[in-house]
Amino acid sequence: MASALIRKALISNPNGFRKAIGLFYNANRNHWNYQYKPGPYPRTPEERAAAAKKYGLTIEEYQPYPEDMCYGDYPRLPDIGTDSKDPYYPYDYPDLKRNFNEPIHARQEIFGEDRYDISMRPRFPLWYQWMWFLGVVGGSFALYLFLEDYKFGRPVTAKQYPQEGPHYLFCAK
């Protein structure tokens, strides 16, 4: 009964078979930490081709980081945040918006959906933001300087004596 339902779900969903195979393959495949470690920086065209194949990219797409950044042969991927990716694409991992064996960006921790999206343009340009900030702070400071001499009330209250005469209780003669 259960296998018939699974078979029916796989047939009715066009991407279901691909996802089922991907999930089955992922569940049975062993990933070890040494497989994620980037290799040495590629210096020859053969090493570049091998690194491109390792990360599932074509030779034209593969571009490593500069050697002084110490990322080894890891590919330089475009800075596209998770929020900018198509939400209706049938990803293998929809929560992360990525497919199986897709290389992860070297700085993935700052590109999640709950983080800053570097690929999106800001709503207002930077000069406009600075203009508003300096206008509000400068206007507040100008109002403070202009109205400093025009106080609303006296800085001290009037003296409040209970009665006329001496206002002390010691040595009353």
Q: Where are the domains of the chain?
A: 2-110
Rounded Cα distance between 128 and 111, Å, is: 25
pLDDT confidence tier of residue 8, bands split at 50, 70 and 90: low
Distance of alpha carbon 72 from alpha carbon 76, whole angstroms: 11
What is the Cα–Cα distance from 122 to 13, expressed in whole angstroms? Answer: 38
Lowest mean pLDDT among 26-30, 96-100, 169-173: 26-30
Average pLDDT over residues 16-40: 62
pLDDT, the chain, mean: 80
Compute the distance between CA of residue 18 and CA of residue 24 in angstroms, rounded to an integer.
10
User: In terms of DSSP H, where are the helices of 64-125?
Assistant: none
